[in-house]
Structure 1
Amino acid sequence: MTCTVLKPLQQQETSDETKTDRFDKLVETLKDILGPSSGITSDDVDVGDLMDAMEQYTSDDREWCPYAMADDSRGYTRNLVDEGNGKSNLLILVWSPGKGSPIHDHGNAHCVMKILRGTLTETRYDFPDGDRNKPMEIKSISHHKENAVAYMADELGVHRVSNEGSDFACTRPPNVAKSGCHIFDLRSGKKSYVPKCGYYSRYGHLVKE
């Protein structure tokens, strides 16, 4: 296993204003939107508010790199930043060059993703047609660049996210806590249930497996 804590792309003087850390303010804003009891599956959460908050943040890797741990033996790592109210967690995902996620759904939850570094490719597929054994059908392919915000939900299909670049890429999604999802075989459409995805790090500290 190769664990790397990502470093800022540019080493710069950090002003007192920067030290107030807009990234931490984003974390607090997202927590305020979700409130004390709502998750991103909840009807009382306006996804547009989550997207607006993420769009207003301009990525500064001096602020979030301490949470971003990479492992090039994996497609990506899941790094916990904040547990929020226990129903939605905030993560930084670090995507290894040339790798990506399996095709997956989102367990009937919203997925809002902020690109913090690099460019990620999102390939969307139609949900498999019942129990028919046939290849997954591509609906669209999008390239999300740094500072873009992307949205995905099960009514839009299923998707795969991949990093086709030569450097690690990073994203910031609110994540469903304590619930799983399905992954899908590209050739047959067969789905498998994944009950829970663990964390690679928590609050900037590697989780020992």
Structure 2
Amino acid sequence: MAPQSLSSSAATLTDDSDRGPLFNSKINDAAVPSPPGLGQHPRSFAQLAQTLRDRLSESGEAAFDLQWISEVLGHYPAHDPAEWKQYVFLEDGKYTRNLVESVEGCYALMVLCWAGNAASPIHDHPSSHCVVKVLEGELIEERYEWPEGAQPGSINNTHTTDSGAPPGTPKSEPMKLVDTSKLLPGRVAYIHDSICLHRLRNPHPTTPAVTLHLYVPPYHTCRTFVEATGEARAQRRCAFWSRMGVRNKVGEM
């Protein structure tokens, strides 16, 4: 799927009031119906995981329905950090990826933990839908246009800073920031390569943040991008800090 054309106008900081219902920081139970096939809204982390497992564990992307998933995640109250505390691993100056559960080829559910001022690189999501819910704290999402020649399916999408650009690679130029938004507790957001690239960061120097990420289907490698030049770094494997609440050993992916 080719990336959508994005506006070239300057990006502005937006909050929840600028978005449609999917992006509201809180979803009103009375205003949003229960997702189809869901007898009641998931009220615990275990119920949420089971609901997603029942829907996605066999058919994965074929069962992906953005409206349904956004409502399921939106209705989960996340009031009790004890429910997901076992997946919280903080590391100074970094963000950590902590696997809750996954079914190969279908989906992966993760808790990402953001230390003060931690930020991801600008990155893609190869062939994967990514839905994010903020459990605690606050993040800033910055969205970028795809650099020319780097889009999925482009003849130049293999050029990297590690190996040098092949003939015909467009002249390097800064990446174009097209949107900046604040993700508050309870907020649900969505990203896909057909929309744009993005970066997430914790704007607070001392207050951590915790987010829940659903990837359909899972991916194991991704590309990151140099903001100043738009060049794509070589694909690298995405490592986990922990799996199912157990810290990985040094060198374990």
TM-score by length of 1: 0.83
The alignment-based identity, stated in percent, is 33
Deviation for aligned residue 1:80: 1.0
Aligned counterpart, 2:59: 37
Deviations 1:142-175 (A, max 9, x none): 0010011011111111000000023110101113
Mark the runs of 5 or more structure 2 residues left unpaired by the alignment: 1-41, 150-168
What is residue 207 of structure 1 aligned with on the other side?
248
Match of 1:108 in 2: 127
* More off after superposition, 95-104 vs 78-87: 78-87
Asked if 1:153 corresponds to 2:192, the answer is: yes
Report the Cα offset of residue 35 of structure 1: 3.5
Alignment pair present for 1:184 and 2:206? no
1:72 aligns with 2:111: no
Structure with greater proportional strand content: 1
Q: CA deviation at 1:94?
A: 0.1
Q: State the match for 2:81 in structure 1.
A: 61
Aligned-partner residue type, residue 116 of structure 1:
L
Within a 5 Å distance, the mapping from 1:66-145 to structure 2 comes to: 66-74=86-94, 76-84=95-103, 87-130=106-149, 131-132=169-170, 133-145=172-184
Q: Please give the alpha-carbon distance, in whole angstroms, between the structure 1 residues aligned to 2:128 and 2:102.
A: 17
Aligned to 1:55, the other structure's residue is in SS state: helix
Secondary structure of 1:155's aligned partner: coil
User: How many Å separate the matches in 1 of 2:128 and 2:108?
Assistant: 13
2:52 partner SS: helix
Q: Distance in 2 between matches of 1:164 and 1:61?
A: 21
Q: What CA deviation, in whole Å up to 9, does each residue of 1:9-45 have, x standing for no partner?
A: xxxxxxxxxxx9710110111112213132xxx2442
**Displacement, 1:178?**
4.7
Separation in structure 2 between the aligned mates of residue 172 and residue 193 of structure 1, nearest angstrom: 27
CA spacing shift, 1:178–1:122, aligned 2, 3 Å: closer
1:174 aligns with 214
Name the stretch that deviates more: 21-30 or 139-148.
21-30
**Gapped runs of 5+ residues in structure 1?**
1-19
Larger radius of gyration: 2
Normalized against structure 2, the TM-score is what?
0.69
CA 1:84–1:24 in structure 2 vs 1: closer, same or farther (change >3 Å)? farther
* C-alpha contact 1:112 1:151 (8 A) present in aligned 2: yes
For residues 64-123 of structure 1, give each alpha carbon's deviation from its aligned partner in whole angstroms, at most 9, with x where no partner exists: 11111111142x001111124553211100011112000001102111001000110000
- Where does residue 5 of structure 1 map in the other structure? none
Residue in structure 1 matched with residue 37 of structure 2 by the alignment: none
CA RMSD, 1 decimal: 1.8
